[in-house]
Amino acid sequence: MPAILITGADGQLGRAIQLQVPQSPDWTFYLTDRPNLDICNPAAVNAFFEAHRIDFCINAAGYTAVDRAEAEPELAAAVNRLGTQHLAGACQQHKATLLHLSTDYVYHTPQNTPFEETDPVMPQSVYAQTKWEGEQAALRHCSRTFVVRTSWVYSPFGNNFLLTMLRLGRERAQVRVVYDQVGTPTSAFDLADALVHMIQRIHSGEVSAEAAAGIYNFSPEGVASWYDFALAIFEKTGNPIEVVPIRTIQYPTPALRPPFSLMSKEKIKTTFQLSIPHWRDGLDRCLARLEQP
């Protein structure tokens, strides 16, 4: 049965995977974060793979502070590009399959129809550029790499839009949220389910890791702006706070965000026979998790 390494296990996705994974004792998980596996250290990565049998690696580690990356480009590149390269090389050497998480932010072009995996990319921030470079490193150094581009990830853990809105809803009578950035909110639990499903299909032989390797888009179904997402959060939590729509130009940030990053999921649905829920259903599940003790 599969042995799975999860890097970034203390982050949003890593923690969601731990709650969503099959409870079968036949699945072995190695949960790592920087204190016990620094992916920026190639010797440490190689030593870990030498010491453990790894069939799959979910690389959920990453420098994800989008705005701070503008001031820390070398650190962002070390984690997002070099760290990924080290993992990919180890996966190739040890015949493991790599599932590497990337971002819709690489799709920063004037296109206004859902992005296919083959569409041109145009990363316009340090974060997006280093994530794109990480994708290329993963694909170049491991022939069994699945790059999974996702969008607007949120969860009950860490720092994200959902938790920010819930905090502001307790502190204010009004929030201002941009309406001219469009994409799809992704619950970390929905993303975790998709990755586990991919591993199950590959491990069973229903999908060939060699033949199907490449880039895949994943987010829930549906479309939203950040304004729409905020409205849904307050609607579902019964908070009467006023949400005021504003333009991006009224909320400047150090890093540019793409105005449109809606992605087509036809490739992942067809290849993996994957059923994808609507983002509002994912929000319901995530809020239910928040309510649990």
Residues known to be catalytic: 127
Are 173 and 126 in contact, with CB atoms under 8 Å apart? no
Three-class SS state of 62: coil
C-alpha 222/C-alpha 213 separation (Å) is 26
Are 115 and 263 in contact, with CB atoms under 8 Å apart? yes
Burial state string for 128-148 with b = 16 or more CB within 10 A and e = fewer than 16: bbbbbbbbebbbebbebbbbb
Length of the chain: 293
Picking from 13, 16, 26, the residue whose alpha carbon sits closest to that of residue 62 is 13
Strands 56-59 and 97-103, bridge-based pairing: parallel
C-alpha 4/C-alpha 216 separation (Å) is 20
Three-class SS state of 115: strand
Are 261 and 182 in contact, with CB atoms under 8 Å apart? yes
Number of neighbouring beta carbons within 10 Å of residue 27: 16
Tokens 């690489």 belong to: 106
Task: Say which residues have a Cβ less than 8 Å from residue 211's Cβ, sequence separation at least 6.
Answer: none
Are 258 and 107 in contact, with CB atoms under 8 Å apart? yes
C-alpha 167/C-alpha 22 separation (Å) is 32
